[in-house]
Amino acid sequence: MPIFPISMGRNLGYGGAAPRVRGSVVIDLGKRMSQILDIDADDYTCLVEPGVSFYALYEAIQAKGYDHIWIDTPDLGGGSVIGNTLDRGVGYTPYGDHWAVHSGLEVVLPTGEIVRTGMGALPGSNTWQSFPYGFGPIQDGLFSQSNLGIVTKMGMALMPNPGGHESFMYAFAHPADLAPLIEIIRPLRISNILENVAQVRSAEQTIAVQGRPKTDFYTGPGMMPDEVIEREAAKLPCGKCAWVYYGMSYGPAHIRAYKLDIVHKEFSKIPGARKIDPATIPKDNYFWSRDNIAAGVPDLEELLWCNWTPNGSHVAFSPVSPIRGRDAEALVKLARDRRVEYGVEMFPAFCVGLREMHLIVEIVFDKTVPEARKAAMDCLRAMIDDAAALGYGEYRTHLALMDQVASTYSWNDGALMKLNERIKDALDPNGILAAGKSGIWPKRYRGRGWEM
Ligand code: ADP
């Protein structure tokens, strides 16, 4: 009997709660395993079960009155901490790389044994959540974006309250400002002057996140023309622009002032760059949503751009690249060319990690229209191939695209997939667990027409 474990199933844009194999029994772990097993207020760590959402963790910390502890939340706080971390989701505080700050897993293997990784393997250990490595090979990676186990507990580091925080927003006037901006961001980000995952968003997405339909702005054929984007952006706090930067500075006022001054000098090298004074931004503007998220306060506003089309649904194309202007330009061009070809609506945004950036291109479509669903899928498939031809790979993808994305990681005659399959067959000899997840199929499914 094929089984498919989920934590809360809110992996929106990447497949939600859906199993890859029709007829699988979905194990909804979050339904009953939803306890916060520990919050250590001295070590700044926690231990959670699959059903603990970012909201639940945040609220538990507030309820205990732990003002000195922050959590990190992704764009949408309603999902599972474990589910998001296993899928290598990110948030927007300095602790945004969730996988990097997890410490210790408890896992049920496909054959039924239960293992604890890291220090959890030592009975009575008191450092399971504070030293992720333990002794010997680190097995945690086997259980991330994989189908080798059911994770029932996970430890995670929590962030100390930095003693102050301040969101900032810059608007950049021209589409061509993207490349120089990315070049400026790279050294600032690597040296932690820009301390959190930086977001560079298109003006179009900033217009759409008001939650209003496209037809409010434009009723003509095809995509919204550039002049309409400029006109509508001009009505928003960002003003007439092509790109908007959202960031946050952490620490007491004098420390923030030191860093923000450097940022301002660097960003001002781009002609026409404008810092938007937060005091002028209305409280219902999306800026304050980003302000919450970057301060570890869960929020749900992000998906308002789904209202762009009737019955709006979304799916993401998420390639990774170096933080370089020429890569940003190549990826935006690739996406825009395919957008024109397939006539889909899309919103590109760059999320700049420490030494790489993810371009997240959200495609929004009317889920009740078969042609719109097909156009979204065809466009995604084309973009994945285009990206791979240029040397870019996705960091995460929708369940339906996992075979294709896995096939792009093909170096040395597919050596990585061969290794994945050997491990899969060894740990899951009956091939029951989440077959097809991340493009990894157990022996009894391989080459029988399941891959797509
Ligand atoms: P979230 O609710 O945070 O969005 P999901 O529950 O949708 O996360 O998890 C995303 C994906 O990660 C799932 O589709 C599943 O493949 C995998 N996954 C999630 N939780 C577990 C778990 N506890 N054990 C094993 N795999 C999991």
The interface predicted TM-score (ipTM) is: 0.96
Q: Would residue 396 show up in a list of annotated catalytic residues for this protein? A: yes
Counts of helices then strands in the chain (DSSP H, E): 12, 18
CA gap 335, 241 in Å, rounded: 20
Q: Would residue 395 show up in a list of annotated catalytic residues for this protein? A: yes
Q: Which atom of ligand 1 is nearest to the CA of 81?
A: 3
Residue nearest to atom 25 of ligand 1 (CA): 150
Q: What is the pLDDT of residue 223?
A: 80
Name the stretches of the chain with pLDDT < 50: none
86, 144, 428, best to mutate for ligand 1 pocket (most atoms within 8 Å of CB): 86
Q: What is the pLDDT of residue 226?
A: 85
Residue nearest to atom 15 of ligand 1 (CA): 6
CA gap 296, 150 in Å, rounded: 27
* Alpha helices, H only, 110-239: 178-190, 203-208, 226-233
Q: Which residues pair with 104 in a beta bridge?
A: none
Q: What is the pLDDT of residue 11?
A: 87
* Alpha helices, H only, 283-440: 287-294, 325-342, 370-389, 402-408, 411-427
Q: Would residue 324 show up in a list of annotated catalytic residues for this protein? A: no
Asked if residue 2 lies in contact with residue 430, where contact means CB atoms within 8 angstroms, the answer is no
Q: Which residues pair with 365 in a beta bridge?
A: 313
User: Which of these, 109, 154, 102, lies nearest to 131 by C-alpha position?
Assistant: 102
Q: Which atom of ligand 1 is nearest to the CA of 12?
A: 4
87, 105, 140, best to mutate for ligand 1 pocket (most atoms within 8 Å of CB): 87
Residues in the chain: 452
What phi and psi, each to the nearest 5 degrees, are found at residue 392? Answer: -105, 140
Asked if residue 167 lies in contact with residue 287, where contact means CB atoms within 8 angstroms, the answer is yes
Q: What is the pLDDT of residue 12?
A: 85
CA 160 to ligand 1 center in whole angstroms:
27
Q: What is the CA radius of gyration of the chain?
A: 22
**Options 55, 58, 170, 395, the catalytic residue:** 395
Q: In this structure, which topology does domain 3-160 adopt according to CATH?
A: 3.30.465
Let me know if 297 is exposed, middle or buried by CB neighbors in 10 A (0-12, 13-18, 19+). Answer: middle
Tell me which residues have their CB closer than 6 angstroms to ligand 1: 5-11, 15, 17, 29, 50, 79-80, 82-84, 86-87, 150-151, 434, 437
**Options 10, 14, 286, 392, the catalytic residue:** 14
Tell me which of 3.40.462.10, 1.10.1840.10, 3.20.20.70, 2.30.42.10 is the CATH number of domain 165-398. Answer: 3.40.462.10
User: Which of these, 388, 382, 390, lies nearest to 342 by C-alpha position?
Assistant: 382
Q: What is the pLDDT of residue 221?
A: 82
CA gap 217, 335 in Å, rounded: 22
CA 153 to ligand 1 center in whole angstroms:
12
pLDDT in tens, 279-321: 999 999 999 999 999 999 999 988 999 999 999 999 999 999 9
Every domain of the chain with CATH number 3.30.465.10 lies at: 3-160
Residue type at position 215: T
Asked if residue 149 lies in contact with residue 142, where contact means CB atoms within 8 angstroms, the answer is yes
Q: What is the pLDDT of residue 232?
A: 94
Every domain of the chain with CATH number 3.40.462.10 lies at: 165-398
